[in-house]
Structure 1
Amino acid sequence: MSISENKQAWQETVVKKNLAKAPERQESFRTSSDLEVERCFAPDFEYPQYDEQLGFPGQYPFTRGVQPTMYRGRFWTMRQYAGFGTAAESNERYKYLLSAGQTGLSIAFDLPTQMGYDSDAAMARGEVGKVGVAVDSLADMEVLFDGIPLDKVSTSMTINSTASILLAMYIAVAEKQGVSPAQISGTIQNDILKEYMARGTYIYPPKESMRIITDIFAYCKDNVPKWNTISISGYHIREAGSSAVQEVAFTLADGIAYVDAAIKAGLDVDQFAPRLAFFFNSHNNLLEEVAKFRAARRMWAKIMKDRFKAKDPRSMMLRFHTQTAGCTLTAQQPDNNIMRVTLQALAAVLGGTQSLHTNSRDEALALPTEDSVRIALRTQQVIAYESGVADSADPLAGSFLVESLTDQIEKEATAYIERIDALGGAVEAISRGFQQKEIQDSAYAYQRSIEKNETIIVGVNKFTVAEKAPEGLLKVKEEVELSQKAALAKMKGQRDDAKVEATLKALAGAAQGTDNLMPFILDAVKSYATLGEIANVLREVFGVHRETVVL
């Protein structure tokens, strides 16, 4: 069949079925000159390997998108990452964002919460509420989502080592609202492998961390079916200094490791793979970023079909969230960051993202102010409603440059994955420091190119001006730590200590055996055991990870 005939067949089967479930936003899409914009443009001439390499949106190999109608059906989820100070302060920010048109929540947790420490721990001193919201127990989670209906809002939580505990808290809060676990939707990042290579908020050794992750997969498959159980993250790999190729390669290699671990734990690939999600960075080189997203989709589809023999097309879909690149933001001339974020957001949309966070202009200096957050959200809304780029799926397909970059990224990223396979897989390669060394070398080369003026950063090494010290920045007050400690002490004084002790003892026993840990963590959370208490039980059983130093 010709490409035109295949397109017609796609329209009459895949698209028709999709439209019956989810109509498009409007009856027709036209430019400002009243020119029709098709749902999906395709060549009307011979195009070598079109079906194998490109295909149509919603069909293998998903190069052109995971949904047949893409943003003609509905826009990507505008999910601004937010959280700071106390749960009450963050709750106010979430309600503000939802009232401004945000369509999903994305929770930032402070470092103690990420690392499994309560706010009154010595290790938490000076960090409480600083880079995210402090959550010590179910009591904080109840305040965090007060007045926010969890059956109507999807929530993404950027949490890894303590992901099982925060997910349990979320489930418990939903139940208190009268919402069953089967009704809630969202994502936990839950990607520990990238922590070992790029970010550092790990607690337990890799083997034990992988057990917790696969326990979450199994539990959610049966109890929380709408939940995305992992967001395999290239974002932090890129923030650490990797190239676009390395971001794709190392992220997909981690994905392979998680799928391997789940299969070895007894799960069928098509039982859990449809709930896997990914999280990518978006940088300034617009066309390379578009090609990166397209290449990653195609590669994952092939990996799942050929390597893991997945049968369900949903298992082959790489669905991803995008965040614009924090590491590209500059303290100098911070308003320039608005333009950077716009380019990065546009790349994510042209690349087919499912949800998007746009960074604020002042994040190189401090937590973003409400004005800056509003501009960041409006950036997405202008792209969605005014630019026209959402009116046709994969609008840059067929560009000689974009297709060439897509092919080159796939080729080079595949070569990296083959090297990682030869080392024994992602976990073994991380233990040897392979990915860490590659990222460090890439970051060093990039920094040297800036210092030598080979790479221009506007306002930093070219087009500089004398600037006043910034004003009106958002700062988390030191009183936050004191109030958080006081609230924690009050909660501990009101709970049933015998019940807490019993649930923690049961969790320790489960950790020493082979039972799924999630029911035991959920019981502990419901007894108002703290995040630190639960994490400490697992520390005692599993031990802690020591970093592989790479020079």
Structure 2
Amino acid sequence: MSATEEQVDHIKQAVERWNAGPVAKLLAKFPEQRAKFVTASDRQVERLYAPEAATIDRYAEKLGLPGEYPFTRGVQPTMYRGRFWTMRQYAGFATAEESNQRYRYLLEQGTTGLSVAFDLPTQIGYDSDDPMAAGEVGKVGVAIDSLADMETLLDGIPLDRISTSMTINATAAVLLAMYIAVGEKQGVPPEKLNGTIQNDILKEYIARGTYRFPPGPSLRLISDIFAYCTEKVPNFNTISISGYHIREAGSTAAQEIGFTLADAICYVDTALQAGLKVDDFAPRLAFFFAAHSDLFEEAAKFRAARRLYARIMKERFGAVNPKSLMLRFHTQTGGVTLTAQQPDNNVVRVTIQALAAVLGGTQSLHTNSKDEAMALPTEESVTVALRTQQLIAYESGVTNTVDPLAGSFYVEKLTDDLEVEAEGIIKLIDARGGMVAAIEQGFVQKQIEESAYRYGQSIDNGERVIVGVNKFTGDEPPTINLFEVPESTTQRQLDKLRGVRASRDVARVEAALAAVKQAAVGSENLMPPILAAVRAYATVGEICSTLAGVFGEFSESTN
């Protein structure tokens, strides 16, 4: 037994004496508040945590130093002492004109990066005048039909200085092409553009549903984006592999890690099979996670995800470039945790969640607004959400040192346990033939559904307290001003779309769409012909319909 093991064993014996003596004596008079203490993911929490020998003896392997493998303690040596995370506020509604005004407002208030929300027709690849778009134009995000809309959306926003994140998946190639084209019109070459496209189609089949094409062609589009951006748009993150929507659907923290990294494995495999080299594209892979209210579990989740990802990239894929091993991620506070009851409570929830993200070492953060359980946020509520980030950055003191929770016996045990459970989930996915096969078998969806059901039951039966919902409720209905999308949105968008179609060169559009079809039938990279079609003012719907004519369309009921 090593000296460390002897010391740890001595501490454990002391804890046992403490439990049998002072604790037992006190419990006889004053029982603890609950029979079972668990995390938000139903993980058992012990009364007290003591040091473990492995954490000390295997420090370099398990923790290391910030900016060094295995990156448990962060991807940058100085973290927030050098630069704060990018403060983004997810926004987009109605037409490009209204959304542009909101972006300008947010930049004036101190946000340091844009995050674009698109409406459902844009996300799935339908124009605003398509019957499939009826009732949805501009409702949950901004409507983008053509390059003309993207030009308006980004008017006056310097793309050489602002990083833009776009939550777009099935149609990511088209919207990225539009972004590149707007940069060209601003005089910003592609190599100077910074930002992220979500481009994570697998989680759409799992948890969100904004897919258009079957998995095979969708993965081809993703690998084509990897290849194109590696050469032409090197500073753009080509994918943001999302655990957020998996968590929003009801997964546990360990499932969020495991399923997200299993998605990442599938994307890396796809790119390798397409002939790309891992160290050429892996440095531009990024991730997107949720932050919920169990502060310590969430902070530990991010640390565990970083360590496990670094090991996967090094040992499974043979990546050598340190940047290929770094799990860099954006965080959004938990939308599913927001309540319509007592909406002011959401400000407190978001503060805790944002703090967990910062303590866990996020590179980018969106804080939800208090009214998002009921509607799109008002300017007032989104400002409070942004101020929450600024208060944490400038006033809380948590950014003064790197990885301030490191060494906490509780946090290190949570980190270890989450890593082990997440790795076990990945092995289950591998045993089922990989992530696409596991999705097609319904395995992933079933696991998430079961976790969501257990969590819901714990609220319904009162085991888990949600303040203002099942305890500390009030009789007064909330009084809050809600934001409403203008009723004129659809007509104004249709008028603009008609104008674009009337003014463009029809022959050029037809030739560009024919080139997209030819590329889709063959094996050449799809990004150049899509970019040419965008420059000709072909619409999102026209380009996606052309691709669907070759690829087919995915339907969960028939696949």
Is TM more than 0.5 here? yes
Aligned pair partner of 1:81 in 85, 90, 97: 90
1:278 aligns with 2:294: no
2:11 maps to what in 1?
none
1:233-272 → structure 2 map (5 Å cutoff): 233-272=242-281
1:531 maps to what in 2?
540
* SS of residue in 2 equivalent to 1:514: coil
CA apart distance, 1:330: 0.2
Contact 2:67/2:77 (<8 A) preserved: yes
Contact 1:431/1:548 (<8 A) preserved: no
Aligned pair partner of 2:355 in 315, 331, 346: 346
| The structure with more radius of gyration | 2
1:8 maps to what in 2?
none
**Structure 2 spans left out of the alignment, 5+ residues:** 1-51
Aligned pair partner of 1:435 in 444, 450, 455: 444
After superposition, what is the alpha-carbon deviation per residue over 1:14-66, rounded to whole angstroms, capped at 9, x for unaligned? Answer: xxxxxxxxxxxxxxxxxxxxxxxxxxxxx9x9921000000000000000000
After superposition, what is the alpha-carbon deviation per residue over 1:473-493, rounded to whole angstroms, capped at 9, x for unaligned? Answer: 101122100100011001110
1:5-20 → structure 2 map (5 Å cutoff): none
CA apart distance, 1:278: 0.2
1:160 maps to what in 2?
169
Structure 2 CA distance, aligned partners of 1:427 and 1:273? 20
Contact 2:343/2:478 (<8 A) preserved: no
1:127 maps to what in 2?
136
1:22 maps to what in 2?
none
Structure 1 CA distance, aligned partners of 2:247 and 2:190? 34
Change (3 A) 1:516 1:466: same
CA apart distance, 1:466: 1.5
1:518 aligns with 2:527: yes
1:17 maps to what in 2?
none
Contact 2:287/2:329 (<8 A) preserved: yes
1:324 maps to what in 2?
333
1:386 maps to what in 2?
395
Structure 2 CA distance, aligned partners of 1:466 and 1:159? 40
Structure 1 CA distance, aligned partners of 2:539 and 2:187? 23
CA apart distance, 1:549: 8.6
* SS of residue in 1 equivalent to 2:57: coil
Structure 1 CA distance, aligned partners of 2:358 and 2:448? 26
After superposition, what is the alpha-carbon deviation per residue over 1:426-469, rounded to whole angstroms, capped at 9, x for unaligned? Answer: 11111111100000011111111111011111000100111235
Structure 2 CA distance, aligned partners of 1:46 and 1:276? 29
Aligned pair partner of 2:225 in 216, 223, 233: 216
1:492 aligns with 2:490: no
Contact 1:433/1:549 (<8 A) preserved: no
Structure 1 CA distance, aligned partners of 2:312 and 2:211? 27
1:307 maps to what in 2?
316
**Structure 1 spans left out of the alignment, 5+ residues:** 1-42
CA apart distance, 1:472: 1.9
Structure 2 CA distance, aligned partners of 1:340 and 1:185? 31
Structure 2 CA distance, aligned partners of 1:214 and 1:52? 32
Structure 2 CA distance, aligned partners of 1:316 and 1:64? 13
Structure 1 CA distance, aligned partners of 2:297 and 2:109? 32
2:474 maps to what in 1?
465
CA apart distance, 1:471: 3.9
Aligned pair partner of 1:335 in 335, 339, 344: 344
1:365 aligns with 2:378: no
Structure 2 CA distance, aligned partners of 1:55 and 1:548? 47
1:290 maps to what in 2?
299
* SS of residue in 1 equivalent to 2:348: helix
* SS of residue in 2 equivalent to 1:467: coil
1:51-90 → structure 2 map (5 Å cutoff): 51-90=60-99
Structure 2 CA distance, aligned partners of 1:467 and 1:500? 57
Structure 2 CA distance, aligned partners of 1:92 and 1:108? 14
Structure 1 CA distance, aligned partners of 2:557 and 2:416? 34
Q: What RMSD, in angstroms, separates the aligned Cα atoms of the two structures?
A: 1.3
* SS of residue in 2 equivalent to 1:441: helix
Contact 1:188/1:228 (<8 A) preserved: yes
Identity %: 67
1:445 aligns with 2:454: yes
Equivalenced residues, count = 507
Shifted more, 468-477 versus 321-330: the winner is 468-477
1:24 maps to what in 2?
none
1:146 aligns with 2:134: no
Change (3 A) 1:46 1:251: closer
After superposition, what is the alpha-carbon deviation per residue over 1:168-190, rounded to whole angstroms, capped at 9, x for unaligned? Answer: 00000000000000000000000
